[in-house]
A and B are shown apart, each in its own frame.
Chain A
Amino acid sequence: MLEIKNLHAKVDGREILNGLDLTIPAGEVHAIMGPNGSGKSTLSYVLAGKDDYEVTDGSVTWKGEDLLAMEPDERAAAGVFLAFQYPMEIPGVATMTFLRSAVNAVRKARGEEEYSTPDFLRTVKEKAKDLKIDMEMLRRPLNVGFSGGEKKRNEILQMSLLEPGLCILDETDSGLDIDALRIVSDGVNALRSPERCMLVITHYQRLLNHIVPDRVHVLSKGRVARSGGPELALELEKSGYADYGDEATAA
C-alpha cells in the first residue's frame, strides 16, 4: 500500500534521510523506533509534504500514486494523516470550526457530500466521547491551553474524523500518562482495518504494548538499520539504542 524506496531528504541543506526503504502492506501496522535525531519526524514530515523538507532522491508510492508530487492537502484527501509530535496551537480558530472545515474540505476533495450540521455534530460527539474529550474543549481555540494529553487526543479525534488510509503517528505517546495512553491506544486500535495501514513512530516500547505492530523497524542515521517482529521492540527496550549511534541509552 505504501512503498518508500531509497528516500533521501534534506533539511536546511543537511541530508537527514539517507536511502530509506520501507513497505507497508494494506492492513498492517509498522513501528519505527530509533534514537533522537535519527530522522523519524523528518520522515513523517516528508510523507505529509512539509515545504522545507527537500526530497533529493528516491520515491514514495501510495496506492500506486506518486505521493511526492502531491500538495499537502491533496495528500490528506488521498488518505494520508499525520498525528503531529507537537500539534500546533491556533488562537482565534475554534477547534470545532477547524474540525468542520477540515472534514468538509477532505470530503469535498474525495467527491463525497459535505456533512450537514446535525450529522457532523453527532459524529463528533460520538468520537469525542470514546476519546474522553469534553465538548467544551472543542469550543476553545485549537489546542490553545490544551494539556499535552488533550492535544494528543485531539489529534486522534481528527484522525478518526478524516478517515485516512495511512495513519502516521509521531511520538503520540510522549507526554501521556498511563490512562491517557490507554485511551489514545484504544482510539488508534479502533481504526485498525484491512483497508488501512499505520506507521507508528515511537522512542519507547511501552506504546507498542497497546498498539501491537506487525513489524518493527529501527531507524538510524536516516535509514532503516534493522527490521523485525514485535519482539525487536522488547529487545531494544533492554539494550537501548547504543548500537544505533545513540550514546544515551533509552528506556
Chain B
Amino acid sequence: MDLSVQQFRSEAEQALLDLYERSVDALPGDASVAALRQSAIWTYAGLGLPHRRVEAWKYTDLRAAIAEIPPLLAESDAPVEDTAFEAALGKAFAQLPAYRVVLVAGAVRTELSDVQGLRDAGVEFGALAQMLESPPEWLMASLDTASACGDDVLIALNTALMTGGVALRLPEGVTLQKPIHLIHLDGADAPGSVYTRNVLVTEDGASATVLESFGTLGRAGVQRNAVTTVSLGAKSAIHHIKLQREALETIHLNAWVANVGADARYNAFQVSMGAALARNQVSVRFVGKDAATDISGATLARGKQHCDTTLVVEHDVPACESRELFKLVLDDEARGVFQGKIVVARDAQKTDGKQMSQALLLSETAEFDSKPELEIYADDVVCGHGATSGQIDEDLLFYLRARGLPEAQARALLIQAFVGETFEALDDEAIGDAFAAVSADWLGAPAE
C-alpha cells in the first residue's frame, strides 16, 4: 500500500502507519468494517498528526507531543482487585451503584461486569469486537456518524485501529433506573496503545445515564484513543458523564460525537484530572427541532499537565438550545485550553446558545487559553459566550480564615466551591457527590 500523500512524516506519524499495517489482519470486523478502516487510515495518511497550525489544534500540538507509538495493548485476564479499582477511580466512583461494565484493553471483562443486569433491564448490549464481525444496521449507521467527521484525525485513527469497546442500544421507551458505568482500566508493565469505540443508541423516548470513567492499572503510560458516538432518537435523553483520572504518563485522546433528534436532550459532563496530555472533544449536532444540550465540566491540572477541551455544537435545525459551562483549576505550570465553537445554520432560527469558560489560576505560571468561535448564519438567534480567568478571591479567603479555617483548608474549600458549581448540572446526586469526593481527593482536602 502506498501511503505517501503527506510529504514529511515524523517518526511517530510513520510508526502509526506501521502499527496499522502490522495489526490490520488481526483487527476485528467484516469486510464493510475493513473498508471503513482502510478509508480512515487514508484520511490519517493524508493529514498526519494534528499540530498547532491546524486551527482546531492551535493550542495542542499533538505531533510535537507524541514521540513514540507503543504497540496495541494486549487483552489481559489478570485479576483486577477491588483495591486496584479504588486506587484507579477513587473510592466514590468504584462504589457507585450502577450497571458496571469493565473494559481492559477494550475487552469486556464479564466476570467484573453486570451485563446480565443490563440485558434484563431491556438494553441491547454487545462487545464491539464481536459485533463488528456482523454489524447490525444501527451499528453501521453509528460508525458512519464518525466517518462523517471527515478530517478529524483523532476519530479517523480510532476508526482505523479500534479493537474494543461496547455497543449499547436502548429500544423505544426504555428508561434505566441506574446509570450504566463503563470503566476503562488500562496499563501494564510496558507502554501500550488502546483504541476503543463505544456506540450508544437511544430509540425514541428512551433514556439513560451513561458514565464513562478512565483509570490506570499497572505502571507504564498508555496512549489512549477513545471515541463514543451517540445517536438520540426523538424525545430520548442521555446524560453522558466522564471521569478521567489516569496516571500522569498517559496521553488521553477522547471524542464524543452526538446526533440529537427532535425534542431530545443530550447532556455531557466531564471532569479531567489525570494524564500528561488530555484532549477532550465533544461534538453535538442537532438533527431534530426543539432539542437541547448541556455540555459542562471541569479540569483540574497541576505540574506540567496539559488539558484541552474542544466543543463543537452545530445547530442545523430551528429552536434548539445549547449550554456550555467549563471551569478549570490550573496550578504550577499546567495549561488549560477551552475551545468552543457554535455553528448556527441559516435555517436554525430561534437558536439559543450560550457558552462560558472560567479558569482559576493558582500559580503565576499556569496558563489558560480560551477560543470561542461563533459562526451564525441565521438572524433570529440568541447566542453568547464569555471567558474569565482569575485568582482566588483574597476577601473570601480572609472571611473563611476569620472563621477559623486554616489557610490550606480555606483555599481548598474555595477551589471546591468554584469547581462544584459545575456539578449542579448533574441530576444524579450520588454522581455529584462522587465528583465532589474525587475533586476533594485531588485537592488533598478532607471530603465533606
| A residues lining the B interface (CB < 8 Å) | 48-52, 71-73, 75-77, 81-82, 84, 87-88, 90-93, 97-98, 100-103, 105-106, 109, 141, 158, 162
23 A-B pairs with C-beta separation under 8 A: A50-B398, A71-B401, A73-B402, A73-B410, A77-B404, A84-B399, A88-B396, A90-B400, A90-B417, A91-B417, A92-B420, A93-B416, A93-B417, A97-B448, A98-B413, A100-B448, A101-B405, A101-B413, A105-B403, A105-B409, A106-B403, A106-B404, A141-B417
Q: Does B421 contact A (CB under 8 A)?
A: yes
The 7 closest A-B pairs by CB, nearest first: A92-B417, A76-B404, A106-B404, A72-B401, A102-B403, A88-B399, A92-B420
Beyond A84-B399, A88-B396, A158-B403, list 7 extra A-B contacts (CB 8 Å). A51-B398, A71-B401, A73-B406, A93-B414, A93-B417, A98-B403, A101-B413
A73 touches B404 (CB 8 A): yes
8 Å CB contact of B403 from A49, A76, A141:
A76
Nearest-Cβ distance from residue A117 to partner chain B, whole angstroms: 11
Nearest-Cβ distance from residue B251 to partner chain A, whole angstroms: 32
Q: Which residues from A are CB-within-8-Å of B416?
A: 92-93
Nearest-Cβ distance from residue A147 to partner chain B, whole angstroms: 18
* Bound Cα distance A94, B416 (Å): 11
Given contacts A50-B398, A101-B409, contact A162 B421 (CB under 8 A): no
Nearest-Cβ distance from residue A127 to partner chain B, whole angstroms: 15
Q: Does B407 contact A (CB under 8 A)?
A: yes
Q: Does B395 contact A (CB under 8 A)?
A: yes
Q: Which residues from B are CB-within-8-Å of A84?
A: 399, 402
Q: Which residues from A are CB-within-8-Å of B413?
A: 93, 98, 101
* Bound Cα distance A139, B410 (Å): 19
> In chain B between 377 and 414, which residues have their CB closer than 8 angstroms to a CB of chain A?
394-396, 398-407, 409-410, 413-414
* Bound Cα distance A93, B415 (Å): 10
B407 touches A71 (CB 8 A): yes
Nearest-Cβ distance from residue B436 to partner chain A, whole angstroms: 10
Q: Does B418 contact A (CB under 8 A)?
A: yes
Interface string of B191-220 (1 = CB under 8 A from A): 000000000000000000000000000000
A88 touches B407 (CB 8 A): no
Nearest-Cβ distance from residue A231 to partner chain B, whole angstroms: 33
A73 touches B401 (CB 8 A): yes
B448 touches A162 (CB 8 A): no
* Bound Cα distance A105, B448 (Å): 13
Nearest A residue to B406, CB-CB = A73
Nearest-Cβ distance from residue B85 to partner chain A, whole angstroms: 28
Nearest A residue to B417, CB-CB = A92
B421 touches A92 (CB 8 A): yes
* Bound Cα distance A97, B406 (Å): 15
* Bound Cα distance A29, B201 (Å): 70
A92 touches B418 (CB 8 A): yes
Nearest A residue to B416, CB-CB = A92
Q: Which residues from A are CB-within-8-Å of B407?
A: 71, 73
